[in-house]
């Protein structure tokens, strides 16, 4: 009979062995950095939002790694192709591979300008505070 172990099981066993057979949950707690991928249009109307995003991400220093992809550059075009994005999108934010979350009973999709900023037709239904709430819920402690 073939056995398979999950990565979590292997991790716990390695921690157990490294600690001489006693497990301290805080020592073995996985501290995983949050990965953000941000596709953005580097145009004038987006600049205040980019500043707000950079300020928010800086507050999560050491917990968040943000990769920025400029919509008009080759890296942005390659990112869009990888993600299957074909629409004219001024901003989309992925957190650990997802761009939609449930925060406080509210379904949030991080697409477009935050509510109340940028051209009305490109505003999403999210705020910087919503993004902060989601990051706070997934950030390692």
Residues 18 and 70 in one domain: no
Residue 120: CB atoms within 10 A of its CB come to 8
- Number of helices followed by number of strands (H, E) in the chain: 5, 5
Tokens 């292997």 correspond to: 10
pLDDT at 124: 78
pLDDT at 40: 96
Residues 105 and 68 in one domain: yes
The secondary structure of 80-109, three-state, reads HHHHCCCCCCCEEEEECCECEEEECCEEEE
Tokens 């705020």 correspond to: 127
State the pTM of this model. 0.73
Ordered mean pLDDT values, 10 residues apiece, the chain (141 residues): 43 38 36 88 93 95 94 96 92 94 86 79 84 84 60
In total, the chain counts a number of residues equal to: 141
Q: Report the alpha-carbon angle 35-115-100, nearest 5.
A: 35
Q: Report the alpha-carbon angle 135-43-50, nearest 5.
A: 20
3-class secondary-structure state, position 49:
helix
Overall number of domains in the chain: 2
Residues 9 and 41 in one domain: no
Please name every residue paired with 64 in a beta bridge, in sequence order, or none if there are none: 34
Residues 56 and 82 in one domain: yes
Q: Which of 7, 76, 4, 65 is nearest to 34 (CA)?
A: 65
Residues 67 and 95 in one domain: yes
Q: Which domain holds residue 115?
A: 34-138
CATH code at position 118 = 3.40.30.10
Residues 86 and 132 in one domain: yes
Residues 21 and 75 in one domain: no
Residues 10 and 39 in one domain: no
| Inter-residue contact 126 to 138 (CB < 8 Å) | no
Residues 18 and 53 in one domain: no
pLDDT at 137: 84
């Amino acid at each position: 009979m073939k056995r398979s172990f999950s990565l979590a099981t292997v991790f716990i066993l390695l921690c157990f062995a490294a600690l001489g057979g006693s497990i301290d949950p805080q020592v073995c707690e996985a501290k995983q950095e949050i990965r953000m991928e941000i596709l953005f249009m580097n145009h004038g109307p987006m600049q205040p939002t980019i500043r707000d995003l950079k300020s928010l991400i800086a507050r999560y220093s050491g917990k968040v790694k943000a990769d920025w992809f400029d919509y008009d550059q080759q890296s942005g075009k390659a990112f869009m192709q990888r993600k299957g994005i074909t629409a004219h999108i001024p901003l989309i934010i992925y957190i650990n591979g997802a761009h939609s979350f449930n925060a406080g009973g509210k379904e949030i999709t991080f697409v477009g300008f935050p509510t109340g900023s940028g051209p009305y037709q490109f505003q999403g239904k999210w705020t910087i505070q919503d993004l902060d709430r989601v990051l706070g819920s997934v950030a390692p402690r």
